[in-house]
Amino acid sequence: MGVEINYLAVILAMISSMVIGSIWYARPVFGNMWIKLAKIDMKKQGAPMWQPIVITLVVSLITAYVLAHVTFLSHSFFGDSYVQDAVTTAFWLWLGLTAARFVTHDAFEGRPWKLTVLNCAHELVTLLVMGLIIGLMGV
């Protein structure tokens, strides 16, 4: 069985990740909390701003592609609506791969639990929206 991917849905899901991140981590939303909890020094000059943006674009593209791929496989198995299978797949991938890894790393790094929850919630929203886009657009 070949896996069918809607590449337009993957691109739109990638873009949604960037939009959600821009809103989520904006100062009036959760940005100030994130800066404080992550102990980000906004005065310190780090890497040029384009580098994390390019990295995020690439990683978001990979995430969207993998989600589309696994959604196709899930839909082939479960056979519910494509939207339901995409969103459900997004949730389980988030729980088992994203949230579990955040919790593990943050616990060993001694990061504040509020930061872990903030970042995990961002990833949940991102993956659910990606799943919704992929599900609505189908293959």
For residue range 31-67, list pLDDT tens digits in order.
999 999 999 888 876 667 888 899 999 999 999 999 9
Please tell me the total count of domains within the chain.
1
N-to-C CA span, the chain: 14
Cβ–Cβ < 8 Å for 106, 36: no
- What is the per-residue pLDDT for 48? 77
Average of pLDDT values for 94-105? 97
pTM above 0.95, yes or no: no
Residue 1 maps to a domain: no
Q: What is the mean pLDDT of the chain?
A: 95
Average of pLDDT values for 90-99? 97
- What is the per-residue pLDDT for 50? 86
Q: Which two tokens stand for residue 35?
A: 């800066």
Residue 108 maps to a domain: yes
- What is the per-residue pLDDT for 59? 97
- Cα–Cα nearest to 63, from 25, 93, 105, 84: 93
Backbone φ and ψ of 67, nearest 5°: -60, -45
Backbone φ and ψ of 7, nearest 5°: -70, -30
Residue 16 maps to a domain: yes
Residue 40 maps to a domain: yes
Residue 50 maps to a domain: yes
Structural domain span for residue 84: 7-137
At 4, is the secondary structure helix, strand, or coil?
coil
80 C-beta neighbours (distance < 10 Å), count:
12
